[in-house]
Structure 1
Amino acid sequence: MKILKLRGEIELLSGLHIGGGDDTMKIGGIDNQVIKDPNTDRPYIPGSSLKGKMRSLLEWHLGFVGIGDGSPFGSGLLEDPLFADEEKKRAAENFLRLFGDPNPESPYGITRISVGDCRLSPDSEGMVLSEAKYENMIDRQKGTAQHPRQTERVPAGVRFVYDIRVKVLEGDDEEALKALVSKGLELVEADYLGGNGSRGYGRVRFGNKTDWTE
C-alpha cells in the first residue's frame, strides 16, 4: 500500500458560507454564522463538506443518480443495464474504491480518500475574514423586503489550504483514482461549495489539482 497526497490552495471567488451550527440568537449579532475553529476563531472549510460535495457531483457526472433511490451510490446498483458498458462499470468500481461502498459485504471496502479540514492559508492572515450580508424575501405585490436576516460569509479573495490523501492498494488503477479526485475538484469549481450557491455564494478555484506526491 502507498498513500498519495494532493495539497494546494482554495481561493474564494465569491463569499463562502458553511454554517457553524450555532442556533443561539445573539442580540445585535449575526443570525447565521460560519463555522470557526474554537481555538483560533478563524473560519475553516470542513473536510467533510468538500468530500461530500465532490462525491455528490461525481455521482451526477457519472450518471449514477438516475438509477438509484436517492441514497448514495453502492455496489447493489452495478446490476443496472447502464453497467453493461465495461468502461462505465470500471468507472463505477473505481468510484466505490475511492469513496467506499455502503454495502458492508462489498468487495470494494471502506473509503480510500481522506479530505482534511481546510485551514486558512498563511497568505490570508491579516485579511478581513468575515462579512455580514443581508438576505430577505421580496413581497411580489408591494416590492418591499421582508424577513431580513444577516448571513455571515468569508469574503472573496481569502484562501484556504486543502490536503487530500488516497490509499492505493495492490491491483488498483492508481491513475484512475487520481483522475477521479481531480475531476471532483473541477466539478466543485464549476458548481459551488457550501450553502446558498443559487445566490452566487461559494464560487471557488483550486490550485494544484494534479501534482500528487507520496
Structure 2
Amino acid sequence: MKLKILMVEDDQSVAEMMEMFFEKEGWTTEIATDGEQAVKMFAKNPDQYDLITLDLNLPKKDGIEVAKEVCAISPTIPIIMLTARSSEEEQIQGFNAGADDYVSKPFSPLALIARIKALQRRIRIDDKQEQTKSAENTEKFDVETDHIKISKSRREVLYDGQYVENITPKEFDLLYTMAQKPKQVFSREQLLESVWGYDYYGEDRTVDAHIKKLRQKLEKVGANVIQTVWGVGYKFDDS
C-alpha cells in the first residue's frame, strides 16, 4: 500500500521523525509547517494526497480551520489529527471539522502507522462494498428495525421515514454496527476495532465523542435509540 501523505506539523523534530517512519513503509511525505501553507499545498493538487496528518496547534491558521477548508475542497480526504489537547469538546470540534481520527501527543509512531493502515483498509472495504451495492436494488435497506432503516450503499438513515441529516462517515458506521445487533451491548474497545479497524489503544474518548454527536443528530428527528450501559459501553434499542 503506497501512500502520499501531507503532514501538517510545525515541530521540525516530530516531522522528521514521522517522515523517517513513513519512508520505511514506502510512503512519500510532503510537509507543511503552518496552516496557510497546508491549505495552499492541498488546494494546488488535492488528488495527489491519500491522507493528511494534521497538528491542531499551528501558526497562521489552526488545525480546525485547516480541516474545514481542506474538506470543502475534498470531502473524502482522510484526516488524522495530532494534538496535545485531550478534552472531549476539542475532539468533537475536530471530528465536526472533518477529522476521521484523533491521536493525542505524545504518541507512538508505530501506533500512528497502525491507525493509518486501518483507516486505509476501512476505506478500501467501504469502496468495494459500495461498488457491489450499487449494482443491487437501490431501494433495498441493509438494516430495518421497528423505526430505523439504514442503507449502507447510499449512506442513508431514516427514522420513521424521516431522513437523519449530516451524519459523518464514522457516525454512520457506529450506528450501522450497533443497529445490526439490536440490544447487544458493545464495549468501546469493540466499537474502536469494528469501526476504526484497529486494536484498542486507550482512546475511548474517540468513541464517546462520536456517540455524543450522533445522538444529537438522531434526536433531531426524535430517535433516542442509542443507550448507555454504564461501566460497559453502548447498545442500539428502538423497541
Decide: shared fold, TM above 0.5.
no
Larger RCO, structures 1/2 (Cα 8 Å, 6+ apart): 1
Q: TM-score, normalised by structure 2?
A: 0.25
Greater helix share, structure number? 2
